[in-house]
Amino acid sequence: MDFDYNFNSFEPMLRSVGSDYKRAFEELFDMATHWEELGKSSFSGQVVVELDREKSLISGSVLNKKFSVHISLLTHNHLGFAEAVVTVPDAQNKARDIGRFWVARDGSIHSSDGEKVIPTLDDHFSYRTLIAVLRAVLAAPQQY
């Protein structure tokens, strides 16, 4: 913990991070709405995506393998992000973390170390992100 932090700058930083997160959350759910549509129109019916904004949760399945994407606020370098934690259920139906990514206020996708990996200028950024999630789900071994 940083006890030498300039406490006078905390409130403005808090407002900024809150604003960043709110926008990033909306960007992520806009993208997930696209995923939901893709699940209905593509992939031969093998992908299902459901949204629950109130629970900050995206859930679904690929080839009947269930997954969830839990969304929460994360701050990094005084910026707010929507952190997406991808989980699959283990044999006891407990969520097991299989990957994380961050969404910035502009909708760009960042790795869990903060590196931008998919800019919003990419015409297929939503599709690429969904495919990354689905591939991680399919590659996750069952835990007993």
Please write the tens of the pLDDT for every residue from 30-71: 999 999 999 999 999 999 999 999 999 999 999 999 999 999
- The model carries a pTM of 0.92
Distance CA 12, CA 44 (A): 48
Distance CA 58, CA 82 (A): 13
Q: What's the pLDDT score for residue 6?
A: 78
Distance CA 111, CA 48 (A): 24
Below-50 pLDDT ranges, the chain? none
Q: What's the pLDDT score for residue 99?
A: 97
Q: What's the pLDDT score for residue 68?
A: 98
Q: What's the pLDDT score for residue 130?
A: 97
What are the backbone angles phi and psi of residue 104, rounded to the nearest 5°? -90, 170
Beta strand 47-52 pairing with 109-110: unpaired
